[in-house]
């Protein structure tokens, strides 16, 4: 997900996307412990996407003040 895509989304959409990504990361962690996942890079990319979403949420909160 690109930074520009996150800027164009509303706060509610970002919060829903954040919840989805956190569920995805949780599923990845359980999958890696059971040796079910093959793509080990997915965890890193998901964590980075979560960080980008949080950054976008914080910047929107700062702009509203």
Please compute the mean of the pLDDT values over residues 9-36 and round it to a whole number: 89
Range of the domain at 19: 3-64
Please compute the mean of the pLDDT values over residues 6-15 and round it to a whole number: 90
Kindly report the pTM of this predicted structure: 0.83
- In degrees, to the nearest 5, what angle opens at C-alpha 57 toward C-alphas 5 and 26? 85
Please compute the mean of the pLDDT values over residues 31-60 and round it to a whole number: 86
Both tokens assigned to 61? 């909160």
Count of CB atoms situated within 10 Å of the CB of 21: 21
Number of domains in the chain: 1
CATH number assigned to the domain comprising residue 26: 1.10.287
Please compute the mean of the pLDDT values over residues 34-44 and round it to a whole number: 79
Per-residue pLDDT for 20 more than 90? yes
């Amino acid at each position: 997900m690109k930074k520009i895509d996150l800027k164009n989304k509303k706060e509610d959409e970002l919060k829903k996307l954040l919840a989805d990504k956190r569920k995805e990361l949780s599923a990845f962690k359980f999958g890696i412990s059971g040796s079910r996942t093959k793509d080990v890079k997915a965890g890193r990319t998901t964590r980075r996407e979560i960080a980008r979403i949080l950054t976008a949420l914080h910047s929107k909160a700062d702009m509203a003040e």
